[in-house]
Amino acid sequence: MALSFLYNFFVISVMALMISLNFRLSKFLNLSLAGFFAAGSYIAYFYPNLIAALILGGLFGFGLSLIIMKYCESVIEATISSLGFGLLIERILYFIHESSYYYILNYDLSWLSIPATLTVFAVILFLYLTKNIGLKLKFVESDIELAEIYGVDTTKIKYMVIILTSATVTCFGFIYASLLAITPTIGFGYLISGIIVSAFAAQLKLNGIYHYVSVIALSFVLTRIFGVIL
Amino acid sequence: MKRIAEISVILLVALTSYFAGSFYRWLFGIMAIYAIITISWNLMKTIGRLSMGHALLFGLPAYISAMGYQYSVEASIYLFPITIILSGILFFVFSKITGKTAFVFLTFIASIMLWILTPKIVIEKDGILVGGEVGFNFFNVHFHGIFILSVISLIVIYLFTAEITSSRFGYFMKAVGDDETASKAVGINVDRVKLITIMYSSVLAGFAGLLYALDFGHISYEVFSVETSIFPFVASLLSGGNLFLSVLSSFFLVLLKRSLNSVYPGLMDVFYALVLVFSPKIGGFVYVKGKKFIKKL
């Protein structure tokens, strides 16, 4: 029971962190993360190689960032495009694997979730506490146009954030696959939970690392209260 | 004159479907239902609110009504209008507490939550559990009845909505959609305009949901799917936001769904996804080309 709570807390907090990073730095709500999570789970079933999940996630992220940067001019446009991208991945998974559910029975990678989640927390902490990078990130978060005027390469930051968050979520889909029934819609519940958590955290109006710490704390509280109703 | 021509086109499609056989008669019912959803969605877009959760307005009244139907017919009849009003109020509250961007997110999240949670809803009827992923049975109307009902309702709804959007109130709606602050400054009661529009949109979507449930005699969590929510967005995008063209594009999309899914099940969803991915490009293209086309006409 306690372990199941811990797993849920980890996956929801990571999803919420990735959503927050996308929204605050790349300036859109990334709805394709559900599709990336599902893709990671399918890789775990058919080709159990974490590096493959990482590379594929990165490629998905690169494809998405190209579309976002080339065609989308507003938050809404980018969000809708990302929804389409996620649905496209889901549909492709339906086409390739018609069966409804898959279960991984011969191995369990869920133990990896603890070091993986702690690594994600540590990386975000490191990036924001490193003087040079942290300052740039906080600058982009608070005012992207001003940051651009002052010479911050915002395009590079946007690309990096989308690619890295996509790769992270795909890897988490891979790690959690052995705990779940694998279907193309597997990531939607976590995505919505993550959005709710980051929306609550946004109401606290904190900046920089404090925001991400509040995301982690709220993930813990909300997982404790609601469990996995989603 | 223009309205007569537009209604004639809708009637022509209906008559063609009628004489093409039973299947096409049934299919026209579905086409009309989706066209009504698109009209409902367009209304909300006019006041500047892009709903990505129209599945909630479409499915919830019929779903709750079907739950009531498991107990008594009266419960079903009472629950339907109550849920329409409540879902309309919910969307109005969303529009009050959020800006244009957050409204998209909130409506999307609300409908997805229903999609995820409704398969978990079961109720006990005569000692047997009903609902869940299977859904609930409902009144069933023969498809001939649905055909007649859908033709009449689509024409009435289209004419009424077209009149509203070109009336004084319609200009208020457009003004609110363009700039709420400026509308307030010139004396428009923004909240009233938004409330009336959202309630009307909710009634239309709820009615479409009722027709859908009556047609199949059954309703399940699938009515809240992402596809239901994105359908009116795609139909409106392909028609450049024009009300009449959005009705035709809804017809076209339902026909396309039949054709693509018969080639390979689920192929239409790939089409939807691709349209969403490239929606900023498609929207601009349709708008520019559409303007040129209308000028030529």
To test the contact with chain A by mutation, choose from B226, B277, B282 the residue with the greatest count of A C-beta atoms within 10 A, namely: B277
A171-178 average pLDDT score: 91
Report the C-alpha gap between A223 and A1 in whole angstroms: 13
**Whether pLDDT at B286 is above 90:** no
Q: Residue B35 pLDDT more than 80?
A: yes
Q: Residue A183 and residue A93: Cα distance in Å, rounded? A: 9
Whether the Cβ atoms of residue B89 and residue B36 lie closer than 8 Å to each other: no
> How far apart (Å, rounded) are the C-alpha atoms in residues A194 and A8?
11
Q: Which domain holds residue A219?
A: 5-93+100-226
Residue B83: pLDDT band by 50, 70, 90 thresholds?
A: very high
Average pLDDT over residues A188-202: 89
Which DSSP category does A181 fall into?
-
Are B266 and A95 contacting, i.e. CB atoms less than 8 angstroms apart? yes
What's residue A207's pLDDT?
82
* Confidence check: pLDDT of A105 > 90: no
Closest CA to A178 of A99, A108, A111: A108
pLDDT of residue A114: 86
Exposed, middle or buried: residue A29 (CB in 10 Å: 0-12, 13-18, 19+)? buried
Is the pLDDT reported for residue A229 higher than 60? no
Please report the pLDDT score of residue B3 as a whole number.
Answer: 86
pLDDT single digits (tens) A113-147? 889 999 999 999 999 888 788 888 888 888 888 98
The residue of chain B with its CA nearest to that of A30 is B105
**For residues A127-162, b (16+ Cβ closer than 10 Å) or e, as one string?**
bbeeeeebebbbbbbeebeebeeeebebeebbbebb
The reply to whether A124 touches chain B by the CB within 8 Å rule is no
- Quick count: other Cβ atoms within 10 Å of Cβ A205? 9
Q: Do residues A38 and A173 make contact, with C-beta atoms less than 8 angstroms apart?
A: yes
- pLDDT classification of A180: cutoffs 50, 70, 90: confident
Own/partner contacts of A43-52, CB < 8 Å, gap of 24 or more, are: A43/A170, A43/A173, A43/A174, A44/A104, A44/A109, A44/A173, A44/A174, A44/A175, A44/A177, A44/A178, A44/A182, A45/A102, A45/A104, A45/A177, A45/A182, A46/A97, A48/A107, A48/A109, A50/A112, A50/A171, A50/A174, A50/A175
Nearest-angstrom CA–CA distance, B95 and A143: 26
pLDDT confidence of residue B91: 95
Indicate yes or no: CB of B277 within 8 angstroms of CB of A189: no
Selection from B35-49, B123-137, B267-281 with the highest mean pLDDT = B35-49
Please answer whether residues A145 and A43 qualify as being in contact, where contact means their C-beta atoms are separated by less than 8 angstroms. no
**How many residues are listed for chain B in this entry?**
297
Interface of B with A (CB under 8 A): 50, 52, 100-101, 104-105, 108-109, 112-113, 115-117, 226, 230, 233, 264, 266, 269-270, 272-281
Percent of chain B with pLDDT over 70: 95
pLDDT reading at A57 higher than 80:
yes
Check residue B292 and give its pLDDT: 65
CA distance B226 to chain A (A): 9
The Cα of A150 is separated from the nearest Cα of chain B by a number of Å equal to: 27
Residues in A touching B272 (Cβ below 8 Å): 84, 87
Which of A74, A77, A95 comes nearest B266 by C-beta? Answer: A95
* Selection from B5, B7, B4, B66 nearest residue B35 by Cα: B7
pTM of the model: 0.88
Chain B interface, mutation test: which of A69, A91, A180, A226, most B Cβ atoms within 10 Å? Answer: A91
pLDDT mean across residues, chain A: 88
* Tally of domains in chain A: 1
CA pair distance B277, A64, nearest whole angstrom:
9
Of B109, B266, B273, the CB nearest to A84: B273
Dihedral sign from CA coordinates of A200, A204, A208, A212: negative
Q: Which residues are CB-contacts of B192 (< 8 A; sequence separation ≥ 6)? A: none
Q: How far apart are CA B59 and CA B222, in angstroms?
A: 9
Share of chain A above pLDDT 70, in %: 96
Residue B295, pLDDT score: 58
CA separation for the pair B274, B259 (Å, rounded): 17
pLDDT score of B297 more than 60:
no
Q: For chain B, give every domain's residue range.
A: 2-225
Question: Residues A108, A176: contact at Cβ < 8 Å?
Answer: no
Indicate the pairing of strand B128-131 with strand B136-137: unpaired
Lowest mean pLDDT among A135-139, A221-225, B242-246: A221-225
The per-residue pLDDT for B287 is: 60
Q: How far apart are the first and last CA of chain A?
A: 17
Closest chain B residue to the Cα of A77, Cα to Cα: B280
Q: In this predicted structure, what is the pLDDT of residue A166?
A: 96
Position A103 scores a pLDDT of 84
Mean pLDDT of A210-214: 91
Residue whose entry in the numeric block shows the structure tokens 């047609």: B215
Tell me the C-alpha distance between A88 and A77, whole Å: 16
Looking at per-residue pLDDT, the higher value among B294 and A155 belongs to: A155
Residue A197 reports pLDDT greater than 80: yes
CB contact under 8 A, B274 and A189: no
Question: What is the H or E stretch that residue B27 is in?
Answer: helix B22-46
CA distance B267 to chain A (A): 8
CA-based nearest residue in chain B for residue A27:
B101
pLDDT at A99: 62
Query: Do the beta carbons of residue B83 and residue B64 sit within 8 Å?
Result: yes
Is the minimum CB–CB distance between A101 and chain B shorter than 8 Å? Answer: no
Tokens in use for B229? 């929510």
Question: How many CB pairs below 8 Å do chains A and B form together?
Answer: 82
Residue B79: which pLDDT band, with cuts at 50, 70 and 90? very high
| pLDDT tens digits, B114-161 | 988 899 889 888 888 888 888 898 888 888 899 999 999 999 999 999
The model's pLDDT over B159-171, given as tens digits with 9 standing for 90+, comes to 999 999 999 999 9
